[in-house]
Amino acid sequence: MFAAVPLLALPVLIYNLIALTLVGGFKAADASVRMTDTLFTIQMASRAGWAVSLGDLLLAASLVVLFVELLKSTTSRRIAIINHSLSMVLFILCLVEFLLFPAFATSTFFLVALMVLLDVLAGFIVTIVAARRDVDFGE
């Protein structure tokens, strides 16, 4: 049953926890400041400094999770339909948070929500293509 849970719920949950720790909670307008604050700097071979922020780390982890979700969507088991449905619910939740709460009106959360949408679309498209391949039309 764990396979039915969309893994992109993890980055959304992490962002929700970050937003809850802001002063003012979900109504805080300074979430973008927390997401863009530099956590550490990596010295590159070109002697330039690469400033890594919390938003960068969250997006990088979300991309890895999206890759795993896309691999999961290629299975044609019955549990995949439940996964696609839960991904749709997760996207609706992300959309509501993005539109209604100031702490979620950041580029970082928008990109995470876009990844959730891509997971929903890819899951349904892959399932439809696989189902069409399984059904034989004609003689």
Alpha helix segments (H runs only) across 46-78: 54-72
Return all residues near 94 (Cβ < 8 A) that are at least 6 apart: 12, 109, 112, 113, 116
pLDDT confidence of residue 10: 96
CB 26 within 8 A of CB 104: yes
**Domain residue limits, the chain:** 2-32+62-134
Token readout for 71 is 């691999």
pLDDT confidence of residue 116: 97
CB 28 within 8 A of CB 72: no
The pTM of this model reads 0.87
pLDDT confidence of residue 54: 94
CB 62 within 8 A of CB 1: no
CB 66 within 8 A of CB 119: yes
What are the backbone angles phi and psi of residue 78, rounded to the nearest 5°?
-65, -30
pLDDT confidence of residue 132: 65
pLDDT in tens, the chain (139 residues): 677 889 999 999 999 999 988 888 888 888 888 899 999 999 999 999 999 999 999 999 999 999 999 888 877 677 888 888 999 999 999 999 999 999 999 999 999 999 999 999 998 888 777 766 655 555 5
Return all residues near 118 (Cβ < 8 A) that are at least 6 apart: 66
105: nearest Cα among 12, 4, 32: 32
